[in-house]
Structure 1
Amino acid sequence: MTRTFEELVAEAEAVPTEGWDFSWFDGRATEQRPSWGYARAMGERLAGADSALDVQTGGGEVLASARRLPPLTAATEGWPPNVARATALLHPRGAVVVASPEDAPLPFGDAAFGLVVSRHPVTPHWTEIARVLRPGGTYFAQHVGPASAYEVVEHFLGPQPGSSRATRHPDRERAGAEAAGLEVVDLRAERLRMEFHDIGAVVHFLRKVVWMVPGFTVERYRHQLVSLHERITAEGPFVAHSSRHLVEARRPHA
């Protein structure tokens, strides 16, 4: 039986949003994965490291997926519900979780880690990353790229300026890393297909990824939600495209 707009939206509004577990989307939305397999590649680097920091760990799910963590492993996270979730998940693995706002200096001493990792940081703070890496250490991360899921963004906010579309561009991130004294050894970008099969998936996505449509609520954007629900019902899945890039940078030896 076809579910109504109200039923789909009510269900999506009731789903918890903490952490980076996206299993609720199974059967309701899909996103093509980058070819490089970030979690697997991150796990390989963690297995060979003696110390590591995961920046903006979310609920700790990606870091916890690694089979082996270094003897010294720390993670930072700024959102209190995620701090609690990451602590419960990572403490049994011997990792410490530090509550730290994403825009604050990293709460660690200089040259503290041989490896820094991050999956989808809001903003990579290159000078801080370079500072906490010891000489010869590596930053390995997957970043959100420019104009990611902008089909969704522009449905709700209207056409976005070119300057907005250019943020997070890989070339800018290379320049930022190099300005901080890091050597970029790998930088790869891909644009990937996303499909939303019902309006509930769109609502949950915007509640979870809060920077896409700042201040999103169902009531505030009800008109846009209804029109998109009707479009999905008539035409099938709403298609968007995410943007991702893989970054590997090294702090040179002195």
Structure 2
Amino acid sequence: MPPSPSPSPTPDTPRPTYASLLAEGTAVPTEGWDFSWFQGRATEARPSWGYAVSLAGRLAGARAALDLDTGGGEVLDFALERAVRRPVLTVAAEGWPPNVAKATALLRPRGVAVVAVAEDRPLPFADGTFDLVSSRHPVRPRWTEIARVLEPGGTYFAQHVGPRSAFELVEYFLGPQPDAVRGARHPDRERADAEAAGLEVVELRAERLRMEFHDIAAVVHFLRKVVWMVPGFTVEAYEPRLRALHERIASEGPFVAHSTRHLVEARRPAP
């Protein structure tokens, strides 16, 4: 989401109705990872490490690069545009068909091959193909496959969603979650899984970041876009909670939550 809000409406500007906000949040397309629609409606602080810019530097030093869970290709496109040199081979993998189409349209002009890969299938690449594998917010890191397609000495560089990310919003709709759910995606667990796959974790940094939702349209669009937050979310199923949250935002101000992110750098040891 955008890092800072737009100016608030002036006192003379009529406020949108609850019904119009629901309709707007429901109508916005959800393909890709472009969050520009949220400008002025929701904000999220950015991690201090600047993942996309850092990825540009990694791409400049790579020979063959693979970007996993590329979404609509927006982050990879940003990084390639800023890389002082591009890899000889760059491949992007994505599992959701609407995102595959969007990423192909965006990345093909840059010479990137976009491959459709289902989450439950092995990566369709030979062992040791890439010296750089990257991912921003993978659905689930596939450590064994990452280690397999990396060449000895190759690097996995990624930004992951951490534990309890936006859980204030999740638990508003779903109620208190079991400890196992709340602790999922913990960086310590991911370190152990990466090492079990044969990777050496070089760096692991975590941050907790403030999020603000300024209207109910932003909440609706966010939950439609980030579907694993409230599985099966529909406006109809959660209408009473949405109405109550709309009234709360109108009377108290933005709904505040916190995202968690961690930066991961792991290496496949050389012989």
Same fold (TM over 0.5): yes
Q: CA deviation at 1:189?
A: 0.2
Query: Which residue of structure 1 aligns with residue 52 of structure 2?
Result: 39
Q: Give me the whole-angstrom Cα distance separating, in 1, the residues matched to 2:87 and 2:104.
A: 17
For 1:212-235, what per-residue CA distance to the aligned partner results, in whole angstroms no more than 9, with x for missing partners? 000000000001100100100000
Q: 229, 237, 250: which is aligned to 2:254?
A: 237
Q: 1:27 aligns with which of 40, 57, 64?
A: 40
- Code of the residue aligned with 1:160 in structure 2: it is Q
TM-score w.r.t. the length of structure 1 is 0.99
The offset of 1:162, in angstroms, is 1.1
> Aligned Cα RMSD in Å?
0.6
Q: Within 5 Å, give how 1:180-195 maps onto structure 2.
A: 180-195=197-212
Aligned to 1:116: 133
Question: What is the rounded CA distance, in whole Å, between the counterparts of 1:157 and 1:91 in structure 2?
Answer: 40
Partner of 2:177: 160
Q: Is the 8 A contact 1:111 1:132 kept in 2?
A: yes
Corresponding position of 1:16: 29
1-structure distance, mates of 2:264, 2:119: 19
Q: CA deviation at 1:104?
A: 1.8
**What's the counterpart of residue 8 of structure 2?**
none
My pick for the range that moved more, 126-135 or 59-68, is 59-68
The code of the aligned residue for 2:216 comes to I
Q: 52, 65, 89: which one pairs with 2:106?
A: 89
For 1:118 and 1:107, the matched residues in 2 are separated by: 17
Gapped runs of 5+ residues in structure 2? 1-13
Specify the SS of the correspondent of 1:246. Answer: strand
Question: Counterparts of 1:52-131 in structure 2 under 5 Å?
Answer: 52-66=65-79, 67-68=82-83, 69-131=86-148
Asked whether the 8 Å contact 1:56–1:102 carries over to 2, the reply is no
Q: In structure 1, what is the Cα distance between the partners aligned to 2:35 and 2:124?
A: 29
Q: 2:240 aligns with which of 195, 213, 223?
A: 223
Task: Name the structure 1 match of 2:163.
Answer: 146
Provide the aligned length of Structure 1 versus Structure 2: 254
Query: Following TM superposition, by how much is the alpha carbon of 1:107 offset from its aligned partner in structure 2, in angstroms?
Result: 1.1
1:197 to 188, 197, 214: 214
Q: Percent identity?
A: 74
Q: Could you list the per-position Cα deviations for residues 174-220 of structure 1 after superposition, in whole angstroms to 9, with x for gaps in the alignment? A: 00000001000000000000000000000000000000000000000
Q: CA deviation at 1:161?
A: 1.1
**CA–CA distance in 2 between the matches of 1:211 and 1:127?**
23
Aligned equivalent of 2:7: none
Amino acid in the other structure paired with 1:153: V
Q: Which runs of 5+ in 1 are unaligned?
A: none
> How far apart are the structure 1 equivalents of 2:142 and 2:164?
20
Equivalent AA in structure 2 for residue 11 of structure 1:
E
Amino acid at match of 1:182: L
Instruction: Give the partner amino acid of 1:58.
Output: G
Deviation at 1:101, TM superposition (A): 1.1
Runs of 4+ in 1 over 6 A off after TM superposition: none
Matched position secondary structure for 2:243: helix
Q: Distance in 2 between matches of 1:148 and 1:105?
A: 28
